């Protein structure tokens, strides 16, 4: 299942009882004994728990704390407890939208790069299981924050070198990629990309408070998004190019670009018949018909 070496950790058999944490010391019966979850310790320091239907397991958070999780029916319950179980706090009781026989994954890993492991818990699947969504709970010295720091993160991957979180979500034939950066110990949505044509991506950069900072159509994606540049096109000689205020044939012409102008492409209309362009010298913007744009080799809307 995994391409990297893993160590299967010892797992406690949990007996469901009447206590809040579901760890009551009572005789086992056919009704309250459930299967043990599988736990994988990865070389990166990440711990993963796989919960089948009617299963439970425990993951260590440190010398004195542990995280116990139980899955029964369509719900997953998690508790943080001290070693001697004299202190138990319920973290969540979640309804999980998934297939009955699908394994649910919980991941303990440092998401915000502060040296404390955080919790990613699978909450639902989409597109036939291609999109696997997780909620994020940030870790603290005493367990976890009670409120999520991120919801519906699709197929999240943690990059400790770039200190960012990357998610991938498919919708129809198109993949949407999002990048989350960390500010003040918390992740924020920094960038999203969506295919805009053959060899092109539509990219949005966002501010800390979720507002659009800039957008572009780009045909080159260097490793670092800070180095990304919008698609630049030199318009043909011979005639001015009318810019429209809206991406529609009956929209009023707002300006005209002189022939031979260089433009950058910021956005496409939904039908891809118009492109929002910006003149590189005057910074005038408007909608221009895509059929008028001479595209680089191998790139088309």
pLDDT digits (tens, 9 = 90+) for 28-86: 344 555 799 999 999 999 999 999 999 999 999 988 899 999 999 899 999 999 877 67
What is the residue whose two structure tokens read 């992740």?
187
Helix (H, G, I), strand (E, B) or coil at 237: coil
> What class is the 232-292 domain?
mainly beta
Pairing mode, strands 212-218 and 232-234: unpaired
Q: What are phi and psi of 274, to 5 degrees?
A: -130, 150
What per-residue confidence (pLDDT) applies to 299? 64
Q: Alpha-carbon distance 273 to 184, whole Å?
A: 42
Show the low-confidence residues of the chain (pLDDT under 70). 1-33, 85, 222, 297-301
pLDDT tens digits, one per residue of 140-149: 999 999 999 9
Q: How far does the chain reach from its first CA to its final CA, in angstroms? A: 38
**Structural domain spans, the chain:** 1-154, 158-229, 232-292
What per-residue confidence (pLDDT) applies to 298? 62
Q: Is the pTM of this model over 0.95?
A: no
């Amino acid at each position: 299942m995994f391409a990297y070496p893993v160590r299967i950790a010892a797992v406690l058999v949990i007996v469901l009882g009447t206590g809040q944490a579901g760890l009551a010391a009572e005789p086992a019966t056919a009704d309250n004994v459930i299967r043990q979850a599988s736990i994988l310790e990865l070389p990166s320091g990440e711990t993963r728990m796989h919960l089948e239907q009617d299963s439970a397991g425990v993951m260590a958070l440190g010398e004195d704390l542990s995280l116990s999780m139980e899955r029964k029916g369509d719900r997953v319950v998690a508790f943080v407890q001290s070693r001697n179980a004299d202190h138990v706090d319920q973290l969540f009781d979640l309804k999980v939208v998934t297939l009955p026989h699908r394994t649910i994954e919980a991941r303990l890993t440092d998401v915000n790069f502060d040296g404390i492991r955080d919790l990613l818990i699978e909450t639902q699947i989409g597109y036939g299981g291609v999109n696997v969504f997780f909620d994020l709970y940030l870790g603290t010295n005493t367990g976890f924050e009670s409120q999520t720091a991120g919801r519906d993160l699709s197929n999240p991957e943690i990059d400790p070198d770039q200190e960012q979180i990357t998610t991938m979500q498919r919708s129809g034939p198109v993949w949407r990629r999002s990048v989350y950066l960390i500010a003040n110990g918390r992740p924020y949505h920094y960038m999203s990309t969506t295919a805009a044509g053959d060899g092109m991506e539509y990219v949005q950069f966002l501010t800390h408070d979720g507002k659009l900072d800039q957008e572009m159509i780009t045909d080159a994606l260097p490793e670092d998004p800070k180095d990304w540049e919008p698609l630049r096109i030199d318009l043909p000689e011979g005639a001015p190019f009318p810019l429209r205020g809206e991406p529609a044939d009956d929209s009023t012409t707002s300006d005209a670009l002189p022939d031979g102008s260089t433009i950058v492409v910021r956005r496409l209309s939904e039908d891809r018949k118009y492109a929002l362009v910006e003149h590189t010298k005057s910074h005038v913007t408007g909608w221009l018909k895509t059929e008028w744009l001479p595209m680089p080799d191998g790139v088309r809307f």
